[in-house]
Structure 1
C-alpha cells in the first residue's frame, strides 16, 4: 500500500483481507459482535453498548489506550449491518461538524468454499485525537498519518488472523 504524502484531510484508507475456510454465516458473528474486538486489539481496551439493539443506528463507546496518544473514549454508531455480507461503524469526530473521525468496515464474500474477509479503515474526515498531534506538528502531518496508517494495517492484520483462527476452529 502506498500512503506517502497522505494528509488527514484526504481521508486515507487501509484495506487488508484474508481467506477463511468457513462460510460467511460462521464468520459474521465474529466480526459483527464488537464486544469481541478488545480481545483482539492492543489499543481498544473495552467496549460498551449504549443501545439495546445491535442494528443500524446502535451506539457504543470504546475505551482506548496508545503509548503515544494516551487514553481516550469515543462513541460510535453502527452504520451498516447487512448479515452476513457487510458490517460497518463510524466513530464520532471531536469537533462540531458531525463528521466521523473514522469508519471501519468488514466485508464478507463467499469465495472458493470459504469467505474472503476484508477489513477497511478510513481516517476522517472529522477530527480525532490524531488531529491534535497534527495541529502540534503540522510540518510532520504526512509522517504522522503514515505511521498511524501502518499501525492500523498491523492491527487489522492481527484482527483478521484472530477471526480466521476462531472461525476455522469452530467448524
Structure 2
C-alpha cells in the first residue's frame, strides 16, 4: 500500500508508473475511477510522469481519491521538488461530476499543509486563465493571494499553509 496525505474527505496518493500507464491508455476496466476520469489534463500529466518520473513522489503527480467511494476524482501535484529558494509550483483538477463540492479546495489545502510541513517549502505558486473563475476561487479559499496578472494568466502564491481542516501524511503498516 502507498503512503497518503489524508484530509477529512480525501486521500492524496502518488501516481505510480502502472497507474500512469492506465491513465494514458484510458484503460478503465478494473480501475477505481469516477465517471469522467481521466480527463485530458490527467492524461497529459500521466504522459509527463512516464517520460520524467518524479525523483520524490510527494513532489510529483498525485491522485485525489474520495474516501467515501474510494474512487479517483481528480489529480493534484507539484511540478517537481522545491527549487533552491524553496519555491514549488502546482496544478490540480477534478472531474466535472464533483465540481462545486469543495474537493479541489480541500485537496489543495492538504497538499499545501504537507508541503510546508516538510520544512523545504517557503512559497507555493500557481496560475490560471482569466476566465477560469472556479480555479481562482479554489486558490483563494485555500489561502492563496493574487500577485499579478498578465495578458493571459492570473498568478497566485502563498507563503504559509492556511485554511480549515487537517491533513495527515501517513505510511501504512
**Normalising by the residue count of structure 1, what TM-score does the alignment of the two structures yield?**
0.31
- Kindly name which structure, 1 or 2, has the bigger radius of gyration based on alpha carbons: 1
- Structure of higher RCO (CA pairs closer than 8 Å, 6+ residues apart): 1
**Normalising by the residue count of structure 2, what TM-score does the alignment of the two structures yield?**
0.31
